[in-house]
Amino acid sequence: MNLSISQYAASPADTVLDFLDHAAAEGYSAVAIVERALDEMSAERLAEAIAARGLTVSSLNSAGYFLQADEAARRRQEWKNRRLLEAAPVLGAPLNLIPGGPGPGGLSVERARAEIDAAIEAFAGAARDLGARLTLEPIHPMDLAYKGAICQLAHAEAVCARVPGLAITLDLFHSWWDHDLDRVLAAPGGLAVLQVCDVACPEGAPPMRRPLGEGMMDLARILRLAEAGGWADVYEVELFHHQLDGRPLRQVMVESREAFARLAAAASDVRSVPSERAAG
């Protein structure tokens, strides 16, 4: 099963070794690692623990957040970014970049994007020097101010075209609405990481990340597009513990694995009825 799951699904009480043990036991081929794992052990020890369980690392999350409110915050973020940048090649993982946005200080989005462009180029240079792979994640517009002023897939493609070695992390939660989603999935050569989840859109509330099969997305169609386009890497399930209604980690892993298997079977079934969106 070419499936990964993110450590974001683990609760604060789950150690990184708990997470790795459960992922291996449930048949995942890879894991996505988050920064807090480096609080528990060095990147070298973590790489050994991952390899000992027959796993690989689909992504390391997340560096960036370049536009900070004050000097102290900027220095803290720079330390985090360097820590992740040095860990990425040790783990053999692409480092996911969430660039940040203008924040509350009155910076215009145009100025923020100009500063982010310069910061990405400098950070990508540091990544090349260390032999680290770097990916850029476009962010849903509702999070533009703090998480990412690069929101559209086409914008991310343009940035990647300017910055050698930079590729895209496509998170369906952030890009499900994007007009270019089908085009990018049908020719995924610019993608380095493909993160999957479902999405719910409650009336009067922002979109919500949901477990596979528990939202409004035609995920079988999305898998079909990606497979037809030649995507051959892992699919990374990205869910967050605080959004999982108290479900324990092992349950989340089992349900995600089973739901993905159903979706993959539906995607490969040529007799399946096209969705209204695909038919339209």
How many residues are there in the chain?
280
Whole-number mean pLDDT of the chain?
94
Residue 43 lies in a domain: yes
Q: Is residue 279 one of the residues assigned to a domain?
A: no
- Whether 276 maps to a domain, the answer reads no
Rounded mean pLDDT, 157-172: 97
Is 3 a residue whose pLDDT tops 60? yes
- Domains in the chain: how many in total? 1
What number is the average pLDDT over the span 251-280? 76
Nearest to 188 by CA among 207, 204, 169: 169
Residue 28 CB partners (closer than 8 Å, separation 6+):
1, 3, 4, 5, 55, 253, 257
Q: What is the pLDDT of residues 92-116, one digit of tens each?
A: 999 999 999 998 777 899 999 999 9
Identify the band that residue 271 occupies on the pLDDT scale cut at 50, 70 and 90. very low
Q: Would you state the pLDDT for residue 173?
A: 98
Mean pLDDT of 206-225: 96
Domain range for 211: 3-269
β-strand 208-210 against 198-200: which pairing, if any? antiparallel
- Could you report the per-residue pLDDT of 76-95, keeping only the tens digit for each? 999 999 999 999 999 999 99
Place of tokens 């699919």: 235
| Residue 280 within any structural domain of the chain | no
* Bridge-based pairing state of the strands 166-171 and 134-136: parallel
**228 assigned to some structural domain:** yes
Q: Which residues of 137-168 are buried (b: 16+ CB within 10 A; e: fewer)?
A: bbbbeebbbebbbbbbbebbbebbeebeebbb
Report, as an integer, the average pLDDT of 192-217.
96
Residue with token string 């999405």: 199
Q: Copy the structure tokens of residue 266.
A: 């539906």
Amino acid in position 9 = A
**Residue 69 confidence class, pLDDT cut points 50, 70, 90:** confident
Q: What percent of the chain has pLDDT over 70?
A: 96
| 68 has pLDDT over 80 | yes
Residue range 109-130: average pLDDT?
Answer: 96
- What pLDDT does 195 receive? 98
The band of 276, judged by pLDDT with boundaries at 50, 70 and 90, is: very low
Instruction: Decide if 204 is inside a domain.
Output: yes
Q: Is residue 274 part of a domain?
A: no
Q: Is the pTM of this model over 0.85?
A: yes
**Listed residue (121, 190, 119, 118) closest to 153, CA to CA:** 190
- Identify the pLDDT of residue 224: 96
pLDDT number for residue 105: 74
> What pLDDT is stored for residue 1 in this prediction?
67
Q: DSSP per residue over 143-200, as a string?
A: GTTTTBS--SHHHHHHHHHHSTTEEEEEEHHHHTT-TTHHHHHHSGGGEEEEEE-EEE
Q: DSSP string spanning 57-95? A: EEEEEEEE----SSHHHHHHHHHHHHHHHHHHHHHT-PE
CATH code at position 95? 3.20.20.150
Residue 169: inside a domain: yes
